[in-house]
Amino acid sequence: MAYFKETDAISGKQAKAFITIDGQQEELFYAKSLEATIEKNKVDVPVLGKTNTPKRSAGWSGSGTLTVYYVTSRFRQLMREYVKTGKDFWFDLMVVNAQPDSSAGSQTTVLKGCNLDSISAAQFDAGSDDMMEEEMPFTFNDYEISQHFSKLTGGN
């Protein structure tokens, strides 16, 4: 019987993230967390003779939240340009998950056509000892996995 080897677990602390805007790539070393979700859009398919209402997939949507430490003006500048001119901005977000001693190797995922929903225009909290951070919800319109994790065989 095979068992999962604890050395194969992937730590999120080992991840790297990069954005590409207008052909320029920037490492998001100030990022704290990211979660991107793909949700299937389902529609009802009523079927004669059934008491339930089956559903089937009819598309998908991608959304996520990027949390960064409040140390960059990059996204506020881009949003300001949108506010002033109406020119929206789109970017790709690449995430590399790897653990040096894991048999799983690494996985590289690129979220394409990302577009921020909202940003923090300004903030402070004089009553907190926590470092300032901001959550930036976004949508994306495509994704690819350019490098896949290796298949695990387990240990005995």
Query: Which CATH number does the domain 6-147 belong to among 2.40.50.140, 2.30.110.40, 3.40.640.10, 2.130.10.10?
Result: 2.30.110.40
Per DSSP, the residues of 53-105 read: --EEEEEEEEEEEEEEES---HHHHHHHHHHHH-----EEEEEEEE-TT-TT-
Q: Which residues of 105-134 are buried (b: 16+ CB within 10 A; e: fewer)?
A: bbbbbbbbebebeebeeeeeeeeeeeeebb
pLDDT of 10? 92
> Please, where are the H alpha helices in the chain?
74-85
Q: Is the pLDDT of residue 1 over 90?
A: no
- Confidence band for 23, pLDDT divided at 50, 70 and 90: very high
Task: Please report where in the chains the tokens 């109406």 appear, as a residue.
Answer: 86
Structure confidence by residue, pLDDT tens digits, 90-117: 999 999 999 989 999 999 999 999 999 9
Task: Please report where in the chains the tokens 């970017």 appear, as a residue.
Answer: 91
Structure confidence by residue, pLDDT tens digits, 35-46: 999 999 999 999
